[in-house]
Amino acid sequence: MMEECRISHGFGKDDALFRPGKLICIGRNYAAHALELGNAVPSEPMIFLKPASALIASGSDIVLPAASSDVHHEVELVCLIGERGKNIPESEALAHVAGYAVGLDMTARDLQQKAKDKGHPWSVAKGFDTFAPLGTFVPASEVSDPQALSIRLTINGDVRQEGHTSDMIFTVARLIAYCSRVFTLMPGDLLFTGTPEGVGPVHPGDWLEASVDGLPALHVGVRRG
Ligand code: MN
C-alpha cells in the first residue's frame, strides 16, 4: 500500500509529497476501448471510485485475488490534484493539477461482467488491494499539453496497449470540471482518465511496463494471492 504520492523534480530535495485522497476513475474515455468491450461511447463522463488502499508503487507486485480468474490491465494517464476546488470552470481546471503520472486501473473483468449483468456497482471488480499501481509524478509544469501524449503498456516486452491522449473522448480539463461538480476535489485526489484499447489479462510471473511520454515508467510484477 502506498502512503504518499511523490512528485519528483528530478533532484529529490524539492520533491513534494501528497497523501492520496479519493481515486476518481473514468470509464470508457477512449472510443476504441468502449467498443472493444461491447459498450456504447458515452455522452457524458462515466465515473467510478477506487479505494486508496489499492495503490502500490512501481517495483511492487499486483496480487491476483482468488475470487477472479480474469484480471485485466488498463494503462491510464493519472492526474494528481494539488488545489482544492468545487464547480471548477473548464478553463481553470488544469491549474488544479499538481502533477501527472502513469497508472494502471487493474480490473477483475469476470467480476465486473457479473456486476454489470446484475446492475451492481464495480467496487469489488476494481477495488482489490494492489489494483492501482501508480508511477512517480512529474510536476504539471513539465507537461505542456496532457492531450498530446503517447501511452503504452508492454507485458514481458510485448506491446499490448498503445494509444494517444488526443483520443480521449473527454479531455483532462473537461473531466476535472465535470468531476468537481460532483465531488469537492482535494489536494491528493487522483484522477484516472481512462484506458485506450488493447486491455487483456495478466498472469503470474508477468512483468508490466506502463509508460506515457515524458513521465517515469511504471514497472510491476504479477503474482497469485
Ligand atoms: Mn479504467
CATH number for 80? 3.90.850.10
pLDDT at position 134 is 96
H/E/C letters for each residue in the chain? CCCCEEECCCCCCCCEEECCCCEEEEECCEHHHHHHCCCCCCCCCEEEEECHHHEEECCCEEEECCCCCCEEECEEEEEEECCCECCCCHHHHHHHEEEEEEEECCEEHHHHHHHHHHCCCCHHHHHCCCCEEECCEEEHHHCCCCCCCEEEEEECCEEEEEEEHHHECCCHHHHHHHHCCCCCECCCCEEECCCCCCCEECCCCCEEEEEECCCCCEEEEEEEC
The pTM of the full predicted model, rounded to 2 decimals, is: 0.95
pLDDT band, residue 25 (cuts 50/70/90): very high
Q: Is residue 62 in a domain?
A: yes
Lowest mean pLDDT among 6-10, 36-40, 96-100, 172-176: 6-10
pLDDT band, residue 121 (cuts 50/70/90): very high
Q: Is residue 66 in a domain?
A: yes
Per-residue pLDDT tens over the stretch 135-177 = 999 999 999 999 999 999 999 999 999 999 999 999 999 999 9
Q: Is residue 3 in a domain?
A: no
More confident residue, 34 or 86: 86
CA of 95 relative to ligand 1 center, distance in Å = 24
pLDDT at position 14 is 56
CA of 91 relative to ligand 1 center, distance in Å = 25
Structural domain count of the chain = 1
Lowest mean pLDDT among 39-43, 96-100, 196-200: 39-43
Q: Which residue has the cell 508477468?
A: 206
User: Comparing C-alpha atoms, which of 130, 108, 121 is closest to residue 52?
Assistant: 130
Q: Which three cell numbers stand for residue 103?
A: 497508472
Q: Is residue 4 in a domain?
A: no
CA of 32 relative to ligand 1 center, distance in Å = 13
Q: Is residue 77 in a domain?
A: yes
Range of the domain at 53: 18-224
Over residues 195-221, the mean pLDDT reads: 97
CA of 10 relative to ligand 1 center, distance in Å = 28
CA of 33 relative to ligand 1 center, distance in Å = 10
CA of 167 relative to ligand 1 center, distance in Å = 15
pLDDT at position 16 is 76
CA of 11 relative to ligand 1 center, distance in Å = 31
Q: Is the pLDDT of residue 5 over 80?
A: no
Q: Is the pLDDT of residue 10 over 90?
A: no
Q: Kindly state the greatest CA–CA separation across the chain.
A: 50
Cα separation of 21 and 187, whole Å?
Answer: 7
Q: Are 143 and 149 in contact (CB under 8 A)?
A: yes
CA of 194 relative to ligand 1 center, distance in Å = 5
CA of 12 relative to ligand 1 center, distance in Å = 30
CA of 35 relative to ligand 1 center, distance in Å = 14
Over residues 56-61, the mean pLDDT reads: 95
More confident residue, 9 or 169: 169
pLDDT band, residue 15 (cuts 50/70/90): low
pLDDT band, residue 198 (cuts 50/70/90): very high
Q: Is residue 191 in a domain?
A: yes
CA of 153 relative to ligand 1 center, distance in Å = 13
Q: Is residue 1 in a domain?
A: no
